[in-house]
Amino acid sequence: MMTITETGTDTKQFWLQERAALTGLPRGKGLNIAFEAVDRHVARRGEHIALRFRRKDRTSLDLTYSDLHRATNRFANALKRLGIGPSDVVATVLGRTPALFITAMGSLKNRSVFCPLFSAFGPEPIRERLRLGKARVVVTTEALYRKKIAPIIADLPDLRRVIYADGDFDGLLAAESDDFTIPPTSPEDPALLHFTSGTTGKPKGALHVHEAVVAHHATARLALDLRAEDRFWCTADPGWVTGTSYGIIAPLTHGVTTIVDEGEFDADRWYRLLQEEKVTVWYTAPTAVRMLMKAGREIVRNYDLSHLRFIASVGEPLNPQAVIWSNQVYGIPIHDNWWQTETGGIMIANIRGMEVRPGSMGRPLPGVEAAIVRHSDDRVEIISDPNVEGEIALRKGWPSMFRAYLGEEERYRKCFAGDWYLTGDLAKRDAGGYYWFVGRMDDVIKTSGHLIGPFEVESALLDHPAVAESAVIGKPDPVAGEIIKAFVALKPGFAASPELHDELLGFARKKLGAVVAPKEIAFLDALPKTGSEKIMRRLLKARELGLPEGDISTVKAS
């Protein structure tokens, strides 16, 4: 083990080169996300389809880069006329609709801060986020307003205007000019506000700046293999950071055609979309992959997926079974990657041409200096030996690193030790430099003196043919300190029973050994997840132990 010094891999030159790959505002007036995503493409690729919206009835609507250029200019002009200026927060409570993309890019052109909120939130989480962000404008639908915003409007003194995407939005745009000159924009000007829930207390508002576009663009090329002629589908909802960084910004900076599905998950619908839209790069989540696995292999034979060349996954660790299944069923692996709302972009990934080791999140991308560390106060030590668990730390300096937790300077400061951002995620690094997720620091279980990460237990249970999903927690025990308790959801055709309970206990014990295997198993119809499809272990633990549930605003209705 050694103490980290101020030296280390110099990544500055890498990011300078990636910055040079972008255009920058004319006459050296800075860097603006919307210019890089939209305006710079108009001269050469103006008639190329930027966004293809697949409606619920399977009809389509296309917006070219020229269409998007004009619409976002009009929205920026509308904001300016409404008195909305730099650093004012413009929020959305919308599904995957054209208005959301226009609002995002138009707001950034105006140097306002774009804040997407998940449209399935209830009134209380919306109220808390709009209040914390001091949102000046909300773009939503009339139905969502009546149901979710009208009941809380009295608690939002900063809110100046509500715009209905299905009402006055089009009229607002029609009244404005197609011409808009983006003001000088510093790379450090605030641009994006993403809320992430804490274990307890209020949600955290992670603030990102315009310089983040450098990382969005670079990591989409490196980790997602995006190329200009691709047809790209990111299944993440734009109300979450993945849906913004890689569902809106990154594909547009590359000039690709992004497919946007306004419908909900259905295996046939998804496979039909992949076939009909000739999707080449697909970015999805482990929960969605497990749902497709649950639908079976036979359904895949009904569709032509030959155009699909690259699949990636994010949101939570991808179980080894999913990678193996993808190789067998799709003929290509799923490339897992790792990042956080706070990092703003992909940090560790399985990139094209690299050996995919099922269960690993991959290696740090170029420009990213990562380490497995232990820390105490401001003293951080690298764990140099392979296969030793520790916390993932990232050396400061990548462009999409969050610049603040909104209004919480002390909370932000505690995320750093010297030059290093401490992620709160535990992992280990093998001799080949691959990183393997263990768990969140507050998820790790200490049983009989052993530290057990939940991921390996959950993955073992998923090997059983009856198990569709699993999550494990530590449950207090007077002898062992904690015992491992597992919660499982079953595949169709299997029913909970004492016999299956005992079978799963024995199955796990055989695969994992007596120390690591769960001592208790509970059956659930569905595991609690966030809207971004992360399983909420802490909520399972709180309910099991009768503890306060903390911030549950992101829990997805089952």
How many beta carbons lie within 10 A of that of residue 53, not counting itself?
18
State pLDDT tens for residues 14-36: 999 999 999 999 999 999 999 99
Helices assigned H by DSSP within 121-266: 123-133, 142-144, 169-174, 212-224, 241-244, 250-253
Q: Please say if the pLDDT value at position 505 is more than 50.
A: yes
Give me the pLDDT at residue 556, please. 61
Q: How does DSSP classify residue 160?
A: -
Q: Please say if the pLDDT value at position 449 is more than 70.
A: no
Q: Please say if the pLDDT value at position 3 is more than 60.
A: no
Give me the pLDDT at residue 555, please. 60
| The amino acid at 414 | K
Q: What is the mean pLDDT of residues 62-68?
A: 98
Give me the pLDDT at residue 8, please. 38
Under a CB-based contact definition with an 8 Å cutoff, are residues 392 and 372 in contact? yes
Contacts of 279 (CB under 8 A, 6+ apart): 231, 232, 233, 259, 273, 307, 308
Q: How does DSSP classify residue 228?
A: T
Sign of the C-alpha dihedral computed for residues 73, 249, 43 and 14 taken in this order: positive
Query: Can you tell me which residue has the tokens 């983040």?
Result: 212
Q: What is the mean pLDDT of residues 298-315?
A: 96
Element (H, E) at 115: strand 113-118
Under a CB-based contact definition with an 8 Å cutoff, are residues 280 and 312 in contact? no
Give me the pLDDT at residue 353, please. 92
Q: Please say if the pLDDT value at position 282 is more than 90.
A: yes
Task: Set out the domains of the chain in order of their start, with CATH numbers.
Answer: 2-429 (3.40.50.12780), 443-545 (3.30.300.30)
3-state secondary structure of 345: coil
State pLDDT tens for residues 353-406: 999 999 999 999 999 999 999 987 778 899 999 999 999 999 999 999 999 999
Percent of the chain with pLDDT over 70: 94
Letter string b/e over residues 447-468, b meaning 16 or more CB atoms within 10 A of that residue's CB: beeeebbbbbbbbbbbebebbb
Residues in the chain: 558
Element (H, E) at 53: strand 49-54
Q: How confident is the model at residue 439 (pLDDT cuts 50, 70, 90)?
A: confident
CA–CA gap between residue 257 and residue 234 (Å, rounded): 11
